[in-house]
Amino acid sequence: MRIDTHAHVYPSDYLDFLADSGVTTTGGQRGLGADDTDKELEARFSLMERAGVDRQVISASPVTGALPDPDQAAAAARMINDRYVDLVDRHPDRFLAFVVLPLPHVDAALAELDRVLDAPGVVGVALTTSAAGRALTDPAFAPVWQELDRRGTVMYLHPAGDGVASPQIIDHHLTWMVGAPVEDTVVAAQLITRGFVTRYPHVRILNSHFGGALPMLLERWDNLAHFEAPDAPLPPSQAARLMWYDTVAHSSQAALRAAVQAVGADRLVLGSDFPYQGGEHYLDTVAYIERAGLDAADTQGILAGNAEALLRLA
């Protein structure tokens, strides 16, 4: 079964709720064919069939409703999670779901986790690479990590779109071209050097976009960790192989081959970033893997078996 682990559904009324709550960035999710109307879902399913994709794991990232007010944040999370549970219920052969948590509000996040994680078709949680500007390794978030670890949950990480708070990125309109993979890289490095990969061994961490620059940096991290991260429990190159990575790379075979060499083909799962890669670009999110010249077993694992193992669908 081919499972696209990186796809989005953005109901327009949910985006309206966020906009009414003060979120100013919902324009980036509108008008892309990612609403949950029957017409847009039918077009999505047709495209999936053309690409040979059986199911998508849908997520609301980066619009996860990380609102300042805990009650509003909890309401946003409930709204989108209930919509996703309904979508999975209506289309069980097409969708699985990563639900969102109203971080940085820990009590609300734990309550929502308990409320929705066991719903049919929910296969994990989607977090952004930072929570309202705070690192996921913030000690205040330990109760959430502990509960996810206890449950053996998939944690899917997606850029927040905050340019790692860098004017060098944000002020130059590079938030998604450059900032997003930088966010991926930074969160992966934080989780590795702070020992979260081994401290919470039952959390199955799935990084977007091959973990940003991670495949090209592991040797550098290994060589420099002795003085910048001397307390890291494992060399970064070893810790990196305990996480998973989706294949969203805008069809870069160079990036794919680097990731295979760096972390192993068994740690890679198909991703598309639908609707941002739609139409013919969606078809190529699968085709570029097939034409990359990898071992046939590795290709099959990336396109199908690895995601089933990560999500424990067997």
Query: Which helix H or strand E contains 158, and what residues bound it?
Result: strand 154-158
Burial (CB count <10 Å: 0-12, 13-18, 19+), residue 245: buried
Burial (CB count <10 Å: 0-12, 13-18, 19+), residue 46: exposed
> Cβ(48)–Cβ(4) under 8 Å?
yes
124: Cβ contacts below 8 Å, ≥ 6 apart: 57, 98, 99, 153, 154, 155, 156, 204, 206, 311
Q: What was the pLDDT predicted at 65?
A: 84
Backbone torsions φ then ψ of 305, nearest 5 degrees: -65, -35
- CA dist 137 and 118 (Å) reads 25
DSSP secondary structure letters along 37-83: SHHHHHHHHHHHHHHT--EEEEE-TT-----SSHHHHHHHHHHHHHH
- Choose among 142, 148, 136, 153: nearest CA to 189: 136
Torsion on CA atoms 244, 248, 88, 151, rounded to nearest 10: 20
- CA dist 212 and 18 (Å) reads 28
Q: What was the pLDDT predicted at 149?
A: 98
pLDDT tens series, the chain, 314 aa: 999 999 999 999 999 999 999 998 899 999 999 999 999 999 999 999 999 999 999 999 999 988 999 999 999 999 999 999 999 999 999 999 999 999 999 999 999 999 999 999 999 999 999 999 999 999 999 999 999 999 999 999 999 999 999 999 999 999 999 999 999 999 999 999 999 999 999 999 999 999 999 999 999 999 999 999 999 999 999 999 999 999 999 999 999 999 999 999 999 999 999 999 999 999 999 999 999 999 999 999 999 999 999 999 97
Residue pLDDT, tens place only, 65-123: 889 999 999 999 999 999 999 999 999 999 999 999 999 999 999 999 999 999 999 99
- CA dist 140 and 96 (Å) reads 30
Q: What angle do CA 278, 280, 281 make, to 5 degrees?
A: 55
For 14, the token pair is: 């949910």
Q: What angle do CA 162, 176, 61 make, to 5 degrees?
A: 65
